[in-house]
Amino acid sequence: MTDYSRLAKNGLWTNNMVFAQLLALCPVMAVTGTATNGLGMGLATFFVLVGSNLVVSLIRHWVSQAVRIPVYIVIIATLVTLTDMLINAFAYELYKVLGLFIALIVVNCAILGRAEAFASKNTLWDTLVDSTMMGIGLTWALVMIGAFREILGSGTLFANADLLLGESFGFLEITLIPDYKGFLILLLPPGGFIAVGFLLVAKRWIDQRLSKDKKEPTESAGCSVEGHGA
């Protein structure tokens, strides 16, 4: 019996695809110039992740060890192509923004990794929970990175949200800093690395604080890694 809350915590935080496993960095760097793009990429990846993992879990008894990797890749590639065609046909405006990067989902090792590590060994239901949580974890990570870069880089948040979510979500677009000069480097590719670096620091800092609180009574000097001065 699998503990669902553990799966959820795993996907959303402890084993977060971006912030803990450091997977999926290619799409992370490429599209997260704005929070909206991050959200769009996150949702597209989410769809492929859940879909492919469900299929992998469904056929897991029939897949032989020797050919499992090609089989998984064919499944993932098919789903990516389907996503690509559907977005192209029915959400053309979004396709113009994300189009180039949707094909990148196929080389996203996070999906293959999850298929191999979890879906191929667990029941359909567990896989659904796991991949959903992993997908949400990935999506919020992409939105966070996008927001970080967008706020500091161009002073807005959720710019062009109406293109992704429809006119009714236009209100999401906020100009946080009017007349902002723009910190260009964060919008350019190096900014992706810088943003991920800072957010990793933030996550580990939070983790450290949490574990400190928990362990304080038993081992108080446990976390001091650095500190020849203090």
Partner 1 sequence: MNQPVHGPHAHSNASLSALMFQVILALTPATLYSFWLYGWPAFNLWVVCVGSALFWEALFLKMFGKAIFQHLRDGSALVTAWILALCLPPWAPWWLAFLGSFLAIAMIKQIFGGLGQNVFNPAMAARVMLLIAFPVEMTTWISPQAVTSAQPDFATSLAITLGQAPQAIDAYSGATFLDTVKNQLGQGKLLSDLLINQDYSLGATFQGMHSGSFGESSALLLLLGGLFLLWRRVISWQAPLGVLLGAGVPAALAHFFHPEVYPGAAFHLLTGGVILAAFFIVTDPVTAPTTARGRLLFGLGCGLLAWLIRTFGNYPEGIAFAVMLMNSAVPVIDRYIKPRIYGRTRKGDPLPTRPASNKSGGEV
Partner 2 sequence: MSETSLQDRLGYQSLFLGVVVFVTCALLAFAYQMTREPIRLALENDLLNNFSQVLPAEIYDNNLLETKTDIQAPWGEFSWYQASLNDEVTGVVFPLTAYGYAGDIEMLIAVRSNGEISGVRVLVHRETPGLGDKIEVSRDPWITEFNGLSLQDPPPSDWGVKKDGGVFDQFTGATITPRAVVAAIKRGLEFFEAEKATFLTPVALSEE
Q: Which residues bind partner 1 (CB under 8 A)?
A: 181-186, 188, 194, 226-230
**Does 187 engage in binding with partner 2 (CB under 8 A)?**
yes
On whether the CB atoms of residues 177 and 157 are closer than 8 A, the answer is: no
92 binds partner 2 (CB under 8 A): yes
Query: Given the rule CB under 8 A, which of 14-22, 43-51, 84-92, 101-109 is the region that contacts partner 2?
Result: 84-92
Q: Which of 86, 111, 90, 83 is nearest to 27 (CA)?
A: 111
Q: Which does 228 bind (CB under 5 to 8 A by kind): partner 2, partner 1, none?
A: partner 1
Nearer to partner 2, 90 or 227 (CB): 90
CB neighbours of 91 closer than 8 A, spacing ≥ 6? none
Nearer to partner 1, 181 or 214 (CB): 181
* Of positions 182, 189, 197, 222, contacts partner 2 by CB under 8 A: 182
Which region, judged by CB under 8 A, interacts with partner 2, from 11-19, 59-67, 111-119, 134-142? 59-67
Contacts for 93-97 with beta carbons within 8 Å, 24 or more apart?
A: 93/163, 94/40, 94/163, 94/164, 97/37, 97/40, 97/160, 97/163, 97/164
With contacts defined by CB under 8 A, name the span among 40-48, 56-64, 113-121, 218-226 that binds partner 2.
56-64
Contacts (CB under 8 A) with partner 2, residues 10-39 = 33
Chain centre to alpha carbon of residue 98: 15
b (16+ CB within 10 A) / e for 140-159 = bbbbbbbbbbbbbbbbbbbb
Cβ-Cβ contacts under 8 Å for 40 (sequence gap 6 or more) = 31, 94, 97, 98, 164
Least distance to partner 2, CB of residue 28, Å: 18
Which option in partner 1, partner 2, none does residue 185 bind, with CB closer than 5 to 8 A by kind?
partner 1
d(CA 189, CA 194): 9
- Which CB sits closer to partner 1, 14 or 208? 208
Residue in this structure with the two tokens 């890749």, named with its chain if needed? 73
Chain residues binding partner 2 by CB under 8 A are 33, 61-67, 70-71, 74-75, 77-78, 81-82, 85-86, 88-90, 92, 95-96, 153-154, 182, 184, 187-188
